[in-house]
Structure 1
Amino acid sequence: MTASTPVSTPFSRETTALEVVRDLDLTGRRAVVTGGASGIGVETARALAAAGADVTLAVRNTEAGQRAATDITGTTGNDRVLVAPLDLADLASVATFVRTWDGPLHMLVNNAGIMASPEMRTEQGWEMQFATNHLGHFALATGLFRSLAAAGGARIVSVSSSAHLRSPVVFDDIHFRRRPYDPWAAYGQSKTANVLFAVDATRRWAGEGIYTNALMPGAIRTNLQRYVSDEDLARLRAESGGGDSPSWKDTEQGAATSVLVAASPLVAGVGGRYFEDCQEAGPNQPGTRTGYAPYARDPEAAERLWEVSEEHLRG
């Protein structure tokens, strides 16, 4: 597939994650799903396990993770579903996860996130949404680089959102130290960072056989929205399909694009792109909430974000 050829699939917004993997055999492949205990994370993990993959649920709440793992094993018959502690807002936790991982990693699904939260900060003073949604996943992916490279054809899934249309990464004040804190602007720039990561990770790592893509899973009611008011939810629903979306997706449909990007041969050798409804999306058109913002795939911004992220991790 050439760099300019858009990815087209037989799937749609109604497709479920299990339908994406129906004809796939992932036996012998290993996957990590962050936030895999609930929402679209658990359905992503379930589909990968159903296709035979070894799946590790990387979660803050290991009790919830174990319940999810037991449920996945019960529904798929795959007992190679493990649970490991991971708090993306805590770099020591990320470092421990990386240190204890052994062997190749074929699929890293950066799924966990926090959305439109009240103003919170990490111990370093970093704004919590940017720290969790981007920096924690950045530390995880870079820390697991050798394992990804050893897999031969590894994929990283960067779960973004149409909310990235709300804000570029504001490099002059990422952590809202000078500008007033806005929960949606903070969420938006963290989701833009997820797309930019996919762009520069592919540039840097494609030579090692590692490809990264970003995606918008769709409007799904999950625990991600625990900080979001009913009024905001109604507005998000209206925006989710350009104002005429008939309904939100369920979690099985919401996980489908993640699973497509993680495992489908239709996305083999493809990186640095943005997917929606199991298709590669084009640039955003005025008046819509679909497609990607040009600033989210700007290679210069992507390289700058990578360098800024490294500076954060160096302290």
Structure 2
Amino acid sequence: MTESTRITTPFTAESTAAEVVDGIDLTGRRAVVTGGASGIGIETARALAGAGAEVTLAVRDLGAGERTANDIVATTGNKQVLVAPLDLADQASVAAFTAAWDGPLHLLVNNAGVMASPETRTPEGWELQFATNHLGHFALATGLHRALAAAGGARVVSVSSSAHLRSPIVFEDIHFRERVYEPWSAYGQSKTANVLFGVEATRRWESDGITVNALMPGGIRTNLQRHVSQEDLDRAVAAAGGSGITWKTPEQGAATSVLVATSPLLEGVGGRYFEDCDEAGPNQPGTRKGVAAYALDPEAAARLWQVSAETLAR
């Protein structure tokens, strides 16, 4: 990527999801938003529904999903807001969701996630953050590949984080079986995986008309930080080279997700990383901005895909 090929838009860190999608007609398009009943997932789903899309909220808490769906219907007037159960840490739940999906899928927003949780393992022994943030979404997207290909020009949105700057994929010990568990390193590794997924998925699926991009939504105070105290958050920001976070509203936090999902400027564009409604440049040491070279490395992306597929096949 050179500066001349880097995608920039008229929008900024202050732009909202509604502003980004204004004037875009998604009538007839079908979207899935994971984690669509909390945080920026709500505002992502609201913006897509407001533009006319049929939106399925894929959520663990069906009660929260129904309340959110009712709220979105009331605020947008779009009655095509659906709710379906999905627990990304449970492979049977992911398989049930993909098996139940019928027809084309135009937009898949992989938004759900867990941040800096205490050491927890799935029944398979996988580290929870990697299992949820990456493996669950990997299984979901690959399971929905046929539906995405049937849509023609489908887009997958991979919600990453500037925390990817904290860790590449440690292929020798992804699940912290040998090294000491550190919540932020585990989170960072899973967010790097979100970016690498976009690189390899675009390479594999571009011929099907499917593109995948990753993004950093910005700092938004949501339930995602339920495991993190303010002191821990400040310490983590300082350790990553930052001097503090400028907090966004959920409406602003959803803007880059919605831009990646809908902007005509991204037609046919995949395997890239966006922040504050623009494609990010390379990370500069000592900052929390930009993308790490290891997160866009095609060899690491191909290796991660292979490892992920093998892990899920066991």
Supply the distance in 2 between the matched residues of 1:154 and 1:185 (Cα, whole angstroms): 32
- The aligned amino acid for 1:73 is V
Q: 1:123-156 CA distances to partner (integer Å, 9 max, x unpaired)? A: 0000000000000000000000000000000000
Preserved contact between residue 240 and residue 286 of structure 2 (Cα < 8 Å):
no
**2:264 alignment partner in structure 1:** 265
Q: 1:154-198 CA distances to partner (integer Å, 9 max, x unpaired)? A: 000000000000000100000000000000000000000000000
Cα drift, residue 235 of structure 1: 4.2
Supply the distance in 1 between the matched residues of 2:242 and 2:133 (Cα, whole angstroms): 25
**1:93 alignment partner in structure 2:** 93
Question: Structure 1 residues 128 and 244, CA, compared in 2 at 3 Å: closer, same or farther?
Answer: closer
Cα drift, residue 243 of structure 1: 2.4
**2:58 aligned with 1:58:** yes
Supply the distance in 2 between the matched residues of 1:230 and 1:215 (Cα, whole angstroms): 24
TM-score (norm 2): 0.97
- The aligned amino acid for 2:176 is F
Secondary structure (helix, strand or coil) at the match of 1:226 reads helix
- The aligned amino acid for 1:147 is A
Question: Structure 1 residues 242 and 233, CA, compared in 2 at 3 Å: closer, same or farther?
Answer: closer
**2:201 alignment partner in structure 1:** 201
Question: Structure 1 residues 72 and 161, CA, compared in 2 at 3 Å: closer, same or farther?
Answer: same
- The aligned amino acid for 2:301 is A
**1:248 alignment partner in structure 2:** 247
Secondary structure (helix, strand or coil) at the match of 1:215 reads strand
Aligned length: 314
Secondary structure (helix, strand or coil) at the match of 2:57 reads strand
Cα drift, residue 233 of structure 1: 2.7
Report 1:288-299 matches (<5 A).
288-299=287-298
**1:310 alignment partner in structure 2:** 309
Supply the distance in 1 between the matched residues of 2:265 and 2:67 (Cα, whole angstroms): 32
TM-score (norm 1): 0.97
Preserved contact between residue 241 and residue 290 of structure 1 (Cα < 8 Å):
no
RMSD between superposed Cα atoms in Å: 1.7
Question: Structure 1 residues 237 and 308, CA, compared in 2 at 3 Å: closer, same or farther?
Answer: closer
**1:220 alignment partner in structure 2:** 220
- The aligned amino acid for 1:278 is C
Preserved contact between residue 219 and residue 240 of structure 1 (Cα < 8 Å):
no
**2:279 alignment partner in structure 1:** 280
**1:81 alignment partner in structure 2:** 81
Secondary structure (helix, strand or coil) at the match of 1:10 reads coil
Preserved contact between residue 32 and residue 107 of structure 1 (Cα < 8 Å):
yes
Supply the distance in 2 between the matched residues of 1:30 and 1:239 (Cα, whole angstroms): 40
- The aligned amino acid for 2:286 is G
Preserved contact between residue 160 and residue 214 of structure 2 (Cα < 8 Å):
yes
Supply the distance in 2 between the matched residues of 1:91 and 1:4 (Cα, whole angstroms): 42
Report 1:64-75 matches (<5 A).
64-75=64-75
Secondary structure (helix, strand or coil) at the match of 2:219 reads coil
Preserved contact between residue 199 and residue 273 of structure 1 (Cα < 8 Å):
yes
- The aligned amino acid for 1:306 is W
Question: Structure 1 residues 240 and 65, CA, compared in 2 at 3 Å: closer, same or farther?
Answer: farther
Q: 1:2-40 CA distances to partner (integer Å, 9 max, x unpaired)? A: 997111100000000000111110000000000000100
Question: Unaligned 5+ residue runs, structure 2?
Answer: none
Supply the distance in 2 between the matched residues of 1:241 and 1:103 (Cα, whole angstroms): 46
Supply the distance in 1 between the matched residues of 2:19 and 2:277 (Cα, whole angstroms): 11
**2:184 aligned with 1:189:** no
Supply the distance in 1 between the matched residues of 2:86 and 2:67 (Cα, whole angstroms): 16
Preserved contact between residue 58 and residue 85 of structure 2 (Cα < 8 Å):
yes
Supply the distance in 1 between the matched residues of 2:115 and 2:244 (Cα, whole angstroms): 23
- The aligned amino acid for 1:199 is V
Supply the distance in 1 between the matched residues of 2:4 and 2:112 (Cα, whole angstroms): 30
- The aligned amino acid for 1:265 is P
Preserved contact between residue 161 and residue 215 of structure 1 (Cα < 8 Å):
yes
